[in-house]
């Protein structure tokens, strides 16, 4: 998302995954509004529940989240199948 790295607890990951699946469903259903709702909730969840890592922390990410200003067309490439997080 271009905002650095966050560390998430297991429970938060599950909620993110649910929203991730919602986003995929919205993309598949060609429902742009629903996608933006789900994606914004997903970002908000990461920002609020996640622990923001220091800029000089060197850790590999499990998942890379697309930027907040993603367009629906771009989203169609990212949110397919299982979405960002494999189920």
Partner 1 sequence: MAGMAGRMSTVVKSKISRLLDRAEDPGETLDYSYQKQLESLQNVKKGIADVVTAKKRLGMQASKLEQSVVKLDTQARQAMSAGNEELARTALERKQLAQTELQGLDQQVAELQSQQEKLTESEKRLRSKIEAFRTKKEVIKAQYSAADAQVRISEAATGVGEEMADVGLAMQRAVDKTEDMRARASAVEELEAAGTFEDLTQLGSGSDDIDRELAEIGAGGAVDDELAKLKSELGTGSAAPQGELESGGEQK
Residue numbers at the binding site for partner 1 (CB under 8 A) = 2, 4-5, 54-67, 77-86
CA gap 20, 58 in Å, rounded:
26
Closest contact distance (angstroms) between CB of 62 and partner 1 is 8
Nearest distance in Å: CB 33, partner 1: 20
CB nearer partner 1, residue 3 or residue 44: 3
Q: CA 58, CA 78: separation in Å to the nearest integer?
A: 25
Closer Cβ to partner 1, 47 or 77, answer by number: 77
1 vs 5: CA distance, rounded Å: 9
Q: What φ, ψ does residue 56 adopt, rounded to 5°? A: -95, 15
State the minimum distance, in angstroms, from the CB of residue 67 to partner 1.
Answer: 7
């Amino acid at each position: 998302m271009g905002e650095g790295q966050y560390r998430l607890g297991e429970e938060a990951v599950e909620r993110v995954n649910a929203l991730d699946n919602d986003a995929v469903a919205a993309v598949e259903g060609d429902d742009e509004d629903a996608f933006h709702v789900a994606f914004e909730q997903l970002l908000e969840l990461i920002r609020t529940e996640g622990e923001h890592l220091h800029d000089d922390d060197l850790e590999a990410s499990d998942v890379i989240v697309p930027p907040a200003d993603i367009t629906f067309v771009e989203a169609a490439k990212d949110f397919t199948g299982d979405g960002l997080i494999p189920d």
